[in-house]
Amino acid sequence: MSTVLPPHYLNAHRQAAEQPEHFWAEHAAALDWHRPWQQVLDASDAPFYRWFAGAECNICHNALDRHVAAGRGAQAALIYDSPVTGQQRRYSYQQLLDEVARCAGALQQRGVQVGDRVVIYMPMVPEAVIAMLACARIGAVHSVVFGGFAAPELAKRIDDATPTLIISASCGIEPGRTLAYHPLLEQALALSSHQPRHCLILQREQLRAELKPGRDLDWHTEVSTAAPVACVPVPATAPLYVLYTSGTTGKPKGVVRDHGGHAVALHYSMETVYNTAPGEVFWAASDVGWVVGHSYIVYAPLLRGCTTLLYEGKPVGTPDAAAFWRVIAEHRVNTFFTAPTALRAIKKEDPDGALARHHDLSSLRALYLAGERSDADTVHWAEQLLQVPVVDHWWQTELGWPAIANCQGLAPLPVKAGSSSVPVPGFQLAVLDQDGQPLPPGEIGQLALKLPLPPGTLSTLWHNEDGYRSGYLERFPGYYQTGDAGYVDADGYAWVMSRIDDIINVAGHRLSTGAMEEVVAGHSDVAECAVIGVADALKGQLPLGLVVLKAGVQRSPADICAEVVAQVRNQIGAVASLKSVLVVERLPKTRSGKVLRATLRAIADGQPYQVPATIDDPRTLEELAPLLRPG
Ligand code: COA
Ligand code: AMP
């Protein structure tokens, strides 16, 4: 690594790499443990590693009880700000602890035991956070499903996680429409073979659900009458949650995170990456259904004794492009985290940032961006407007916390717009060629992380250890394969360029084109199809479907395209954002029959491309290129 990086950073990085047990044991000391570990790192089952083996702890205790015991009970733990309902609510640490302890009691009363799964399908309401912490409190494993997914996606997750209980709400609220969640849940349960014992439903006044007697329980009744319960100490290596994320096929991957290592890593990141102090206000404008929400709305800010902000709204349209600035000013936010796409949406409506100038943003110390590549324009726009460091950082659902960042709490580095900066201590980044050999600075290759990964990263895939091995560990023995390509420059800065697989990033949401292809191919008139991600100025990427119709189909192509769009929306969810579908004569393929997706993508993005030597019939590309080229 470069010598231009400050010694303070280099020392921390070296120490974490060379003496990981010593390094992480020191950071673990900041938290409470019911029983100390026997081994900091258990490598006996490598390449599967376990952190803090033999220890007992509970992440909920560390996020709530520990702070109340230390006198932080009156401080705000959670501020709920919901422009879509016009509501705001504040919970002190003591109040949040009381609610969580009662919710945990309600779950226990309904038979949820240590290790049982609880699926949470909720909008951005405080009860979603309470439900997650309540599961953790009793050692149950939560699995939160993002509200923008449709019933079949929810059903897949129910069947994989086999929950004892499902927690949901009567509705979610998107700008201009109220989404009835309960019918979606019904539909999902009709599709899934697994059935939970009960569904605990939060009735929202905007749209009440008709509860099914026997199966459905009313949140308010159950939680208000339940007796509070204490934290159950669990092994540090016990699963805390399963979070499903898109893979290259229609089957989502259940990322498993543990209690102990996760708590240690998140707490460390709040100091080192985000430079926060207890008592400060931290706002991650994401959704609890994504990893950013899990880590930086729920667990990390609370572990650090910060006030976390839960925002039920959008960057624009709720009511306008000043929404973020209003929230920062009103709640004196110190640290703000969002996706570049949200800033681009604001910039589009308010290019000069005039609306921001009506708000007192003096509390803000830094803005963090992740979820997709940060374009230099957006970074510079935000820097000029906010006059604070704008920090791009890179990570993934699997990793759970930032792996490449400009660590503001360790040694802030000069920003290079477009680079996520340097590997965070604990992560050893390598750029590998096709043979797994490290590449020199400046050369693009696959980004990989040397094993063992630090605490807080995935311990395995839910009931799919082989999938973890084959999907991440086998390609480059001794490394975790990230699925991203990029390079490290001569100064040691990492530049993440693109995915190497069929995952695309739409408005900061990770989606699988493979999953969309499975749905499109299911249309009765479609013979074959390809879905590719095409560059989009606002959302980063948007999916584009190309379909070849079955011989003899006489129906209007426009009707078929509209049906395909509706089918993806109904089966995956509105969040898939597949709105463009083209009917084509044939798809360009290699002689072995593989669709040339990368070439199609390059054409659609207006990038230079070469006709691959393996192409079956070059005329297919010549026919398609004019249809695909931007504009
Ligand atoms: N529940 C139900 N539907 C949802 C949803 C949810 N939680 N979230 C999004 N959707 C729907 C939207 O209503 C939209 O529906 P539509 O096609 O009928 O308009 C569709 O899914 C696509 O949503 P989205 O991609 O978010 O586009 P948008 O036009 O509504 O908003 C942005 C664009 C940029 C404002 C928005 O995507 C955004 O704020 N992105 C930031 C994302 C983020 O924070 N990601 C987390 C990583 S840090
Ligand atoms: P998710 O699992 O949803 O967090 O998505 C992870 C993927 O998003 C990564 O593998 C990258 O492809 C992309 N990504 C996340 N953060 C960044 C970033 N800062 N720069 C570039 N790509 C990013």
Residue 479 domain-assigned (yes or no): no
Residue owning tokens 């390059």: 602
CA of 288 to the centre of ligand 1 (A): 13
What atom in ligand 1 is closest to the CA of residue 370?
48
Side chain identity at residue 613, one-letter code:
A
CA of 539 to the centre of ligand 1 (A): 10
Nearest to 374 by CA among 415, 408, 340, 414: 340
pLDDT tens profile 527-550 = 999 999 999 999 999 999 999 999
- Ligand 2 pocket mutation pick from 343, 496, 506 by most atoms within 8 angstroms of CB: 496
Helix (H) or strand (E) holding 9: helix 7-18
- Ligand 2 pocket mutation pick from 295, 394, 457, 502 by most atoms within 8 angstroms of CB: 394
What atom in ligand 2 is closest to the CA of residue 503?
12
Q: Does 292 sit in the ligand 1 pocket, CB within 6 Å?
A: yes
Q: Does 484 sit in the ligand 2 pocket, CB within 6 Å?
A: yes
> Which ligand minimizes its atom distance to the CA of 153?
1
Q: Does 322 sit in the ligand 1 pocket, CB within 6 Å?
A: no
Side chain identity at residue 93, one-letter code:
Y
Q: Do 311 and 327 form a contact (C-beta atoms < 8 A)?
A: yes
Percent of the chain as helix, strand, coil, to the nearest 5: 35, 25, 40
What atom in ligand 2 is closest to the CA of residue 499?
12
Give the number of other CB atoms < 10 A from CB of residue 281. 21
Q: Does 540 sit in the ligand 1 pocket, CB within 6 Å?
A: no
Nearest to 456 by CA among 308, 279, 243: 243
CA of 371 to the centre of ligand 2 (A): 4
CA of 280 to the centre of ligand 2 (A): 27
Residue 375 domain-assigned (yes or no): no
The CA radius of gyration of the chain, in Å to the nearest whole number, is 24
Q: Does 83 sit in the ligand 1 pocket, CB within 6 Å?
A: no
> Which ligand minimizes its atom distance to the CA of 393?
2
CA of 162 to the centre of ligand 2 (A): 28
Residue-range definition of the domain harbouring residue 599: 507-628
CA of 286 to the centre of ligand 2 (A): 14
Structural domains counted in the chain:
1
Residue 548 domain-assigned (yes or no): yes
**Closest residue to atom 5 of ligand 2, CA basis:** 396
What atom in ligand 1 is closest to the CA of residue 174?
13
Residue 566 domain-assigned (yes or no): yes
Burial class (CB in 10 A: 0-12, 13-18, 19+), 493: buried
DSSP letters for 285-316: -S-TTSHHHIIIIIIHHHHTT-EEEEE-S-SS
End-to-end, the C-alpha distance of the chain in Å comes to 43
pLDDT tens profile 462-517 = 999 999 999 999 999 999 999 999 999 999 999 999 889 889 999 989 999 999 99
CA of 575 to the centre of ligand 1 (A): 6
pLDDT at position 4: 79
**What torsion, rounded to 10 degrees, do the Cα atoms 292, 297, 300, 301 define?**
140
* Residues of the chain predicted below pLDDT 70: 1-3
Q: Do 392 and 419 form a contact (C-beta atoms < 8 A)?
A: yes
**CATH number of the domain encompassing residue 552:** 3.30.300.30
pLDDT at position 1: 54
CA of 427 to the centre of ligand 1 (A): 31
Q: Does 397 sit in the ligand 2 pocket, CB within 6 Å?
A: yes
CA of 483 to the centre of ligand 2 (A): 10
Which DSSP letter does residue 355 get? G
> Which ligand minimizes its atom distance to the CA of 494?
2
Residue 511 domain-assigned (yes or no): yes
Helix (H) or strand (E) holding 224: helix 219-225
Residue 219 domain-assigned (yes or no): no
What atom in ligand 2 is closest to the CA of residue 510?
3
Q: Does 198 sit in the ligand 2 pocket, CB within 6 Å?
A: no
What atom in ligand 2 is closest to the CA of residue 292?
4
> Which ligand minimizes its atom distance to the CA of 146?
1
Q: Do 276 and 335 form a contact (C-beta atoms < 8 A)?
A: yes
- Residues 62 and 375: their CA atoms lie apart, in Å, by 37
- CA dist 203 to 216, 468, 487, Å? 11, 38, 50
CA of 596 to the centre of ligand 1 (A): 29
Residue 604 domain-assigned (yes or no): yes
What atom in ligand 2 is closest to the CA of residue 498?
12
- Residues 296 and 329: their CA atoms lie apart, in Å, by 20
What atom in ligand 2 is closest to the CA of residue 397?
2
> Which ligand minimizes its atom distance to the CA of 176?
1
Residue 624 domain-assigned (yes or no): yes
CA of 203 to the centre of ligand 2 (A): 35
Which neighbouring-strand residues pair with 446? Answer: 432, 485
Number of H helices, E strands in the chain: 20, 32
